Structure 1
Amino acid sequence: MTQISRKSRSRFTDYIIPACAALICAGAAYAGADTTFDPALTKFTDFLEGSGGKIITVLSLAAGLIGLASGRFSLGQIAVPVGVGIGVGTGVPIVTSVVTAII
Structure 2
Amino acid sequence: MPALALPRRLGAPRFTQAAGLVLPVAVAALAASAAYAGADTTFAPALTKFTDFLEGSGGKIITVLSLAGGLIGLASGRFTLSQIAVPVGVGIGVGTGVPIVTSVVTAVI
Q: Check whether TM > 0.5.
A: yes
Equivalences for residues 1-103 of structure 1 within 5 A = 6-103=12-109
In percent, how many aligned pairs have the same letter?
Answer: 73
- The structure with more radius of gyration: 2
TM-superposed CA distance for 1:15, in Å, is 2.0
Counterpart-to-counterpart distance in 2, 1:23 and 1:77: 57
CA deviation profile, 1:49-98 (whole Å, cap 9, x unmatched): 00000011011111111111111100110000000000000000010011
TM-superposed CA distance for 1:6, in Å, is 4.6
CA deviation profile, 1:2-61 (whole Å, cap 9, x unmatched): 668654443322221111111111111111111111111100000000000001101111
Call closer, same or farther: CA 1:58–1:7 in 2, change over 3 Å: farther
Letter in 2 for 1:62: A
Q: Which has the higher helix share?
A: 1
Number of residue-to-residue matches in the alignment:
102
In structure 2, runs of 5+ residues without a counterpart are 1-7
Counterpart-to-counterpart distance in 2, 1:71 and 1:81: 18
TM-score normalised by length of structure 1: 0.89
CA RMSD, 1 decimal:
1.7
Call closer, same or farther: CA 1:48–1:6 in 2, change over 3 Å: same
TM-score normalised by length of structure 2: 0.85
